[in-house]
Structure 1
């Protein structure tokens, strides 16, 4: 069923609130960003007619089987810790959320929004459209200020960054992404209201609200991990962050400073080289290229330096294999990739889990699109455990205090919606 509505924003708001009553939901919102590789404005996958839960060891093989069994739309997530299946790695850091390493579901109903057009795929489509249009919105539950705790004090963070830089001096790595967790225990929130507020404060092209079995992902990600469009693979790593300013002239100056900042340029090009190398494992020889280097994208909270790397996918490489060949994404690991991941297991104090992983979809036409899970709240309602990570790239020239402040800048929107003071 395809129809049109005059007030798309209101329909989206009602559709999300209506869908949130389901036990299983994946809401993907582009927030109307201009994306040459975007295929829709919003997708809402509701209810699971089949689902797959897997941990590192056989997760990608099981996903391939699941995808073959359900060749239509499926949505889900990859946890960062699937690196332990791809490489000879292991994780011993604590993980308090207890999310699986991989979860996908085939939805009972799929709503796809493009412009004013609403397409509903599934049984009783006309009835569902009617339910949504008649749905009465009610105010969300107000969340009391959340008292967050850090895994690192500022002083401990600075000391750790300096230790990591000694590895760079020795030549163990060139760059790495060092992440820290902020968390709250025994905390009750209204996840839908939190996401709606987060999406309002920080609208991004890869925003996600994901719900299953009382677990939640509330994501304001600006970054695409990997997409497939026909026989083309697209990766758009982000490295380089700068604040926004209300003064337009100052804001333009900040963009120029970011565009010419040696440390940010160094970070970006090193990760672009890593992504190019990852794509060669799936590419027709000679087709890997950088479509754009050092592009600047501006969001409500920050400016970001974004590069675009593409290739032509070989016929003998499946969609799942293409993801496995590039996972985890270079922007969240470092270079050399394996050495950086090994070191971060040593210096970080909690498992990343879904953070640094990817949420997205495989579509019925064979394409897929997955984000990078950053700027994201994760919540286990049974354990009442709320968590988010932030990270930044550590290079030889990085200043530890500046990197800590960058982490807080990236967390600004999350801290605002939680009612938490920025100075943790």
Structure 2
């Protein structure tokens, strides 16, 4: 693999560069928000994928190329994607070229041989083959354009225009204030909550993640980028991603990593346990201490840790699965969370996409046991989740891989905005508290763009 490598002026965020790409086909930006969090050294962005792979379910893939569209059939979408990687040497850069996109939660129903009563979106996944990227290293304060030798000439020429692009950032555009309406009333939520508790007491499950959805309508002339700028201004998050997919745009400020793989080292970091931020420093500290000491939240977190240990083990070297961190308190702009860390070594013969497939959807947003919890979720929730609780990911041609859980995420399709929030229900959960928590998690997102009619 030969790469053209051109240095650009460094910016403290890739935003000044990405603003020139954001409304282009396939625009994608993986970043950690501002201010940068410890350990988040890199960010990258791109646009104009050389090929785009849209998964329609049941082995059907629509492949979009510059010269037209082809329909193909595959036995395993994840192995089909792995065949699109062009292996090359490691560059100590997270993403120079390769695959990137996102998966809808409902893809998990096919993977677990489930059928649902909700009609999912026509496309269960949208993934692009990107032959160039703009990468920023915040440790060395350097930025580069990286262009694969196979990048088509017209795409290369468009990417090169970034060398002379202005890095001045205009002020935020004014937005019409949208009106968010919850699809699930409090009475309906409490009914679904009690039914989950009945399933738990009957021994069907230990935990299920119950979510509710908010919807809003906005003028179509409001750009996706204008929405996202308002969102990231209010809610910086370490695993954020913007992706202009084929028929919708993903606007995510996710705090949760799913699986990352560097060389053969796998890591996953599930979130379970939440408290709102306090209105004063003293209240904020008290809420954080309350969460750290909560036996209920720690037990809820541990259930998901056990589930993910099992999920990783399917593609891990024997004896390599470890839990170096349990119940670590992490603080974000809107909430406190408990985060655990599980590590393993990828076994010989398995690929990063095998690990993603066999752990999808993430256990932190299903419950345990996973398959039965997913059945109950489908029975009780009022709408398909879509991209929410799915995963955005990238896989570089050098084999490096990263992914998130798509919580704290909006989807924009034409004049509709959708946002969802929820939480894990266990035997000793309290319905009123869980109902409030589902809104607490997304309130900052909703209020960044409008008002809430709950």
Q: Aligning the two structures, in what range does the TM-score lie when normalised by the shorter sequence?
A: over 0.9
CA displacement at 1:68 relative to structure 2 = 2.2
| Preserved contact between residue 202 and residue 300 of structure 1 (Cα < 8 Å) | yes
Alignment of 1:95-110 (within 5 A): 95=120, 98=121, 100-110=123-133
Q: Does 1:152 align with 2:184?
A: yes
CA displacement at 1:347 relative to structure 2 = 0.2
**Count of aligned pairs between the two proteins:** 413
- After TM superposition, the structure 1 stretch with the greater mean CA deviation from structure 2, 402-411 or 122-131, is 122-131
Q: Does 1:325 align with 2:358?
A: yes
Structure 2 gaps, min length 5: 62-74, 87-96, 148-155
Alignment of 1:173-192 (within 5 A): 173-185=205-217, 187-188=219-220, 189-192=222-225
User: 1: CA distance between counterparts of 2:344 and 2:167?
Assistant: 44
Instruction: Map Cα deviations across residues 189-223 of structure 1 (whole Å, 9 max, x no partner).
Output: 43212211111111010111110335211101000
Tell me the TM-score normalized by structure 1. Answer: 0.92
Q: Does 1:399 align with 2:430?
A: yes
| Preserved contact between residue 360 and residue 370 of structure 1 (Cα < 8 Å) | yes
CA displacement at 1:83 relative to structure 2 = 1.4
CA displacement at 1:117 relative to structure 2 = 0.9
User: 1: CA distance between counterparts of 2:424 and 2:159?
Assistant: 49
Task: Report the counterpart of residue 364 of structure 1 in structure 2.
Answer: 397
Q: Does 1:193 align with 2:226?
A: yes
Alignment of 1:342-421 (within 5 A): 342-381=375-414, 384-421=415-452
| Preserved contact between residue 23 and residue 225 of structure 2 (Cα < 8 Å) | no
Instruction: Map Cα deviations across residues 311-331 of structure 1 (whole Å, 9 max, x no partner).
Output: 111111122111111111100
Task: Report the counterpart of residue 14 of structure 1 in structure 2.
Answer: 16
| Preserved contact between residue 180 and residue 446 of structure 2 (Cα < 8 Å) | no
User: 2: CA distance between counterparts of 1:53 and 1:42?
Assistant: 25
| Preserved contact between residue 165 and residue 394 of structure 1 (Cα < 8 Å) | yes
Task: Report the counterpart of residue 84 of structure 1 in structure 2.
Answer: 109
Task: Report the counterpart of residue 267 of structure 1 in structure 2.
Answer: 300
CA displacement at 1:246 relative to structure 2 = 4.3
Alignment of 1:3-402 (within 5 A): 3=7, 5=9, 7-9=11-13, 12-31=14-33, 32-35=36-39, 38=40, 40-58=41-59, 61-71=76-86, 72-95=97-120, 98=121, 100-115=123-138, 116-122=141-147, 123-124=156-157, 127-132=160-165, 134=166, 137-139=169-171, 141-185=173-217, 187-188=219-220, 189-213=222-246, 215-381=248-414, 384-402=415-433
User: 2: CA distance between counterparts of 1:62 and 1:258?
Assistant: 40
| Preserved contact between residue 22 and residue 28 of structure 2 (Cα < 8 Å) | no
C-alpha RMSD over aligned residues = 2.0
Tell me the TM-score normalized by structure 2. Answer: 0.86
| Preserved contact between residue 231 and residue 449 of structure 2 (Cα < 8 Å) | no
| Preserved contact between residue 178 and residue 394 of structure 1 (Cα < 8 Å) | yes
User: 2: CA distance between counterparts of 1:340 and 1:212?
Assistant: 29
| Preserved contact between residue 10 and residue 142 of structure 2 (Cα < 8 Å) | no
> Given the superposition, is the C-alpha separation of residues 144 and 309 from structure 1 closer, same or farther in structure 2, using an over 3 Å criterion?
same
User: 1: CA distance between counterparts of 2:163 and 2:186?
Assistant: 52
User: 1: CA distance between counterparts of 2:198 and 2:444?
Assistant: 32
User: 1: CA distance between counterparts of 2:387 and 2:223?
Assistant: 20
| Preserved contact between residue 208 and residue 219 of structure 1 (Cα < 8 Å) | yes
User: 1: CA distance between counterparts of 2:433 and 2:373?
Assistant: 21
Secondary structure of the 1:24 match is coil
CA displacement at 1:335 relative to structure 2 = 0.6
> Given the superposition, is the C-alpha separation of residues 276 and 332 from structure 1 closer, same or farther in structure 2, using an over 3 Å criterion?
same
> Given the superposition, is the C-alpha separation of residues 70 and 78 from structure 1 closer, same or farther in structure 2, using an over 3 Å criterion?
same
User: 1: CA distance between counterparts of 2:42 and 2:272?
Assistant: 25
| Preserved contact between residue 56 and residue 84 of structure 1 (Cα < 8 Å) | no
Secondary structure of the 1:287 match is coil
- After TM superposition, the structure 1 stretch with the greater mean CA deviation from structure 2, 334-343 or 316-325, is 316-325
